[in-house]
Chains A and B, each alone.
Chain A
Amino acid sequence: MTTRRKRPAAKKKTARKKAPARRTRARRARRGSFFSGIIGLAVVLGLAGVVGFATYAALLGVEVSREFEARRWDVPAQVFATPLELYPGRRLARDDVVAELRRLGYREAAAADRPGRYRTRAGALDVVTRAYRYGAEEEPSRSVSIEFEGGQVARVIDASGSELPLLRFDPLQIGSVFPVHGEDRLILEPSEVPPLLIDALKAVEDRRFDQHLGIDLKGVLRAAFVNLRAGEIRQGASTLTQQLVRSYFLSNERTWSRKLREAVMALALELHYEKDELLHAYINEVYLAQDGARAIHGFGLGSQFYFGKPLAELELHELALLVAQVRGPTYYNPKRHPERALARRNLVLEQLAEQGIIDPADARAAAARELDVLPEAGRAASYYAAFLGLVRRQLYEEYPRDELERRGLQVLTTLDPAVQAAAESALARELDAIQANRENAPPLEGAVVVTNPHNAEVLALVGSRKSGYDGFNRALDARRPIGSLIKPVVYLAALESGRYTLASPIDDAPIEIQLENGQTWLPKNFDDRARGIVPLARALAESLNMATVRLGMDVGLEPIADLLMRLGLEQRPRPYPSLLLGALGLTPYEVAQIYNSLANGGFRTPLKAVRAVVSEDGERVQRYPLEIMAAARADDVYALNTALVQVMEHGTGASIRRALGSDLTVAGKTGTSDDLRDSWFAGFTSDRLVVVWVGNDENRPTGLTGATGAGRVWSSVLRAIDTMPYTAPPPPEILLTWIDFDTGLATEPTCPRAVQIAVPRGEEPPFARACGDVRPRPGVQIRRFFRRAFE
């Protein structure tokens, strides 16, 4: 190919040589005008080039300035957990409080002498809290001693020696609503930037920052020299301004045009802004780490990400590690490449000492320290992936994306980090244990929702066994048949009808239901055994299917569907008979909404994850106040809840109740769907509702009942959280009474099958002749009692 091409070219040359002399002469004659033409053209082209380049430069200048202005305070909404509150009587032991403080990035020290430090003593804890703003409220830093007695907070004493009724800590930042392109940052005010950081950045990254004009020609030469002599890259010559530009446009290509662009933009920035403005922007902008989909920008967030504490609290060796990351957070990743990170950090320390910024002895001491970065588990951000998913959903309903991603809003949420940690570890641990004991079982997954029923605040949300990652959020999105979890609603509808009490008899015998499609439905009990006539309380406690279907058909499907809506279900279920046994697909979150209304004594409150949204300056606050709505009569719900306590004492929840291993009174219900595909448990105490789902993502049978799967996780969560036994004062029109569990007749508390239930005054069942006797004592109320039941 090459040779063939050459030959014609050679011929051409020869041909040109043979060109007539006449022409050459003519050309010579025109040469003068030709050269002046070339010069003219060059001038024109040169001018055009200058104009063109100036235009190009001006356009780039405009572009970079616009970016600078836009990004200067461009900060994603920050999301905070509920703050830790300590007060006398709070059931938290010293070590529980220490665990919470560690989550907040407080460090143990020989003396609690500055914010973020604590010291433990026998039965006490000294701590200096951080100053912070929560919503519109400013809290100063306080130096306090907390004394503990019997696993409780006994006293909180401030520096002046007086007792505080209440102490609130700074809230844990659990993440931010960062934009789709994944950049997360936490903007620092100039006053929040330690002077050492500024000196260190200049010393390590750009020594001539104060003199150069955005690009540093001397620096380039010096760096080349230094690097040549050292035989390695010890110094770069990109100025901080150039790095800032590069960071704005997220480009890694190493082309001359890119470098030209970058240099022009750097010069333009220097033209428009002061040095300290540029440096400050750099500190808030520089890329420092990658956390899954989230890019960590700026030293404020970098400090939180690597060390879990504010920049101001960093020690020298920690600050040096952050400065070291500037060169390449991937290459110098302290988790993946600790030796590289350590070497780079110590090089930074060495350079700082060389330039007289820090004392050489301090540099040596700092170089001897560990990296001290947080373990993986201590990372705040994606750790609360499921809960943050809920927060985003609630926020996106009301706020434009742009506002959430750029305006620096503070989102105050309801997440309780201790409850969340308990729920996550309970789910992971119990599912591991269940799986370990069963071979060939399909992989199990699960979800947990924990609320405070009184205000419907979501305290914890777990969407997966592996909770630290973004992924399918089963708590919000896994819609599964709820099985027997529906039964309390059927029984509540029965109580509301006024035709039944918990003592009323219902026949647990085979029943045939004609369906609309012409088929006949024959519901059966779990063990195929019919119990015969039983009181409602027992039918619910033992989750008897035939009795429940008979009851539900008598009460009517429409009232039951209506009641579900009143309790908080958003879509009206179709009133098919199978609804009575829970052929209704709901998410754990929807189940929590319904059960929250029961746990709240019949008051419906929309579940909420966001308490308030505060503008960056703290001036404007959008609160989501507590609102409640009576959804069912308090008397009926009270009675139902006493029956749900009996589920746990004598019914399908008894094994779960025993697993609690304490005297904690709880109310709850198991649920199991067809072929043991879904295992549910929903239950509550006086101040916590916990809903658990366990199943398989491909909807395969798991071999688990509500009690053996979800119930096990549930009791594990309950054991780990601070909660009070279920209790409620009986309404005036309600009477607590003892009945025989088999017959529903009133009986002495000392009888072997006696259980206590709540019935409306005047509707008490007749007394049995003796313990366990099916015959009531003669009396006028008998006929009325049975007539009501069988009407």
Chain B
Amino acid sequence: MNRHTLILSLLLATAGCSTAQPLIVTAPRPAPAARVPAPAPDETEAARGPDTRREPAFPPPAMEVRPLPPPATPVEPPPQTAPASVALLEQSRSQRAAGSLTAAASSIERALRIDPNNAELWLELGEIKLEDDDPLQAEQMARKALTLAGGDRVVAARAERLLARAASCARGGC
């Protein structure tokens, strides 16, 4: 008797043939009820007297004099850049050369997580955006790089060039 005929004959003769055993299926428990949120401030709040409350004590007259943090050191020249950023920058450039702009942008984003104040990385991302037909983001990345350039004229000049190219691309004159 082949397997299928046997199954069919069994179908006709079937009764529940399994013995009971500890169950393998349990219906999931319901999720715990969420806490009832506190009421949001009402409309009248705007008309009420606002914050007039105690905040920490007035500082002692003799203040500790601290200068503001020293300005961030310029990110160029590259030797100051972390080897990890350099490696990712190189990876991005080869991805870009191979035509994979998405991967190239992704590598720069990864580098920026490690080295967010590196103006060169922002410029690189801006140039990728420009190549990817996104002059608006190219411009924004150039602006961001400019805020991080500090006194670095090389970076500033590169950012200005990117700004100009992005502007002309935005006008359709790429």
Contacts and interface: CB of A to CB of B under 8 A. Distances in A.
A88 B83 contact: yes
Contacts of B149: 729
Interface string B59-95: 1011111111111101000000011101110000000
B112 A472 contact: no
A260 B16 contact: yes
Interface string A207-240: 0000001111100100110010000010011110
Contacts of B68: 642, 645, 665, 736, 756-758
Given A452-B116, A625-B109, A756-B67, 12 more contacts: A259-B18, A267-B10, A457-B113, A582-B50, A630-B143, A642-B68, A676-B54, A725-B69, A726-B69, A729-B148, A730-B150, A756-B68
Contact of B69 (A57, A480, A727): A727
B98 interface: no
The majority secondary structure among interface residues of chain A is: loop
B28 A271 contact: no
A262 B18 contact: yes
Nearest to A136: B103
Shortest Cβ-Cβ A-B pairs, 9 listed: A259-B16, A729-B150, A236-B21, A581-B50, A87-B84, A472-B35, A182-B28, A165-B87, A293-B31
Contact of B45 (A524, A578, A645, A758): A578
Contact of A707 (B47, B56, B66): B56
Nearest to A548: B51
Given A88-B82, A585-B41, A670 B55 contact: yes
A501 interface: no
B46 A579 contact: yes
A682 to B, nearest CB: 14
Contacts of A542: 55, 58-59
15 contacts: A136-B103, A182-B28, A183-B28, A233-B22, A256-B16, A258-B16, A290-B28, A328-B24, A526-B53, A580-B50, A583-B45, A630-B140, A650-B63, A728-B117, A729-B149
A581 B22 contact: no
A259 B23 CA distance: 13
A174 B46 CA distance: 41
B45 to A, nearest CB: 5
A672 B53 contact: yes
B50 A263 contact: no
Contact of A483 (B6, B30, B51, B112): B51
A383 to B, nearest CB: 15
Contacts, number: 351
Nearest to A641: B68
B97 interface: no
Interface stretch (A24-32, A143-151, A302-310, A747-755): A747-755
A270 interface: yes
Given A252-B27, A267-B7, A754-B65, A583 B15 contact: no
B118 to A, nearest CB: 10
Given A523-B52, A645-B69, A674-B53, A731 B147 contact: yes
A543 interface: yes
B171 interface: no
Contacts of B173: none
Interface in B116-140: 116-117, 125, 137, 140
A581 B12 CA distance: 80
Contacts of B52: 523-526, 545, 581
Contacts of A369: none
Contacts of A753: 61, 63
Interface stretch (A422-430, A693-701, A761-769): A693-701
A623 B106 CA distance: 9
A287 B24 contact: yes
Interface string A257-274: 011101110010011000
Interface string B27-38: 111111011111
A292 B31 contact: yes
Given A674-B48, A674-B53, A583 B41 contact: yes
Interface string B140-162: 11011011111100000000000
Contacts of B70: 727
A473 B14 CA distance: 52
Nearest to A637: B147
B112 A484 contact: no
Contact of B35 (A214, A224, A243, A471): A471
A267 B71 contact: no
A427 to B, nearest CB: 16
B39 interface: yes
B38 A237 contact: no
A630 B166 CA distance: 15
A519 interface: yes
Nearest to A576: B46
B117 to A, nearest CB: 7
B56 A654 contact: yes
Contacts of A655: 56
Contacts of A181: 28
B26 A454 contact: no
**Most chain-A Cβ atoms within 10 A of its Cβ — which of B29, B116, B147?**
B147
A508 B114 CA distance: 44
Contact of A214 (B7, B12, B41, B48): B7
Contact of A89 (B19, B56, B82): B82
Contacts of B102: 621, 623
B105 A625 contact: yes
Nearest to A244: B24
A699 B56 contact: no
A290 B25 CA distance: 10
A575 B142 CA distance: 34
A699 B39 contact: yes
A257 B52 CA distance: 72
